[in-house]
Amino acid sequence: MTNKASLLTRMSIGKRLWLLVGVAVLGIGYLTAVFLIDLRSRTLEERQTATRQLVETAVSVLEKYHALTVGGGGGWSEASAQKAALDVIQSLRYDKTNYFWINDATPKMVMHPIRPELNGQGFKRQ
C-alpha cells in the first residue's frame, strides 16, 4: 500500500489530473459501450416484436377468409375466399414501403404485390 501511495505522492499534480481524466474517460467509454449494446438489443427486440405482430395480422386475415369457406361453415367457395384474402393481403403495407407476399411450399410465388409478373412462377434453386 505504501508503494502505491508513494507512487501517487511522487507524481506531479498535472500527472495526477491526467490520470484522473484518463480513468474518467475509460469509465465513460465503458458506460457508453454498455448503453449502446443495450440499445441495440432493445431495438432488435422491438423490431422482432413488430414483425411478429405484422405477420399475425396477415395470418388473421387468412384465418378469417378460411372461416368463410364451406369447410369453415361460412358458405364461400374456397376459390372465392382465397381470391378475397389475396386481395386484402396484396393491399397491406407497413412502414410505407414494405409489403407482404405469398408463396407456397413448392416453392412458387402465389402473390407479389409489387411485381405481379412473378405470380405463378417457381423459384429456381441455384
Average pLDDT, the chain: 90
* Res 73 pLDDT > 90: no
> Given this model, what pLDDT does residue 94 score?
87
The phi and psi torsions of 112 (rounded to 5 degrees) equal: -130, 115
pLDDT in tens, 85-120: 999 999 999 888 899 999 998 889 999 999 999 999
Task: Respond yes or no on whether the N-terminal peptide bond of residue 116 is cis (omega within 30° of 0).
Answer: no
DSSP 99: E
Q: Decide: helix, strand or coil at residue 81.
A: helix
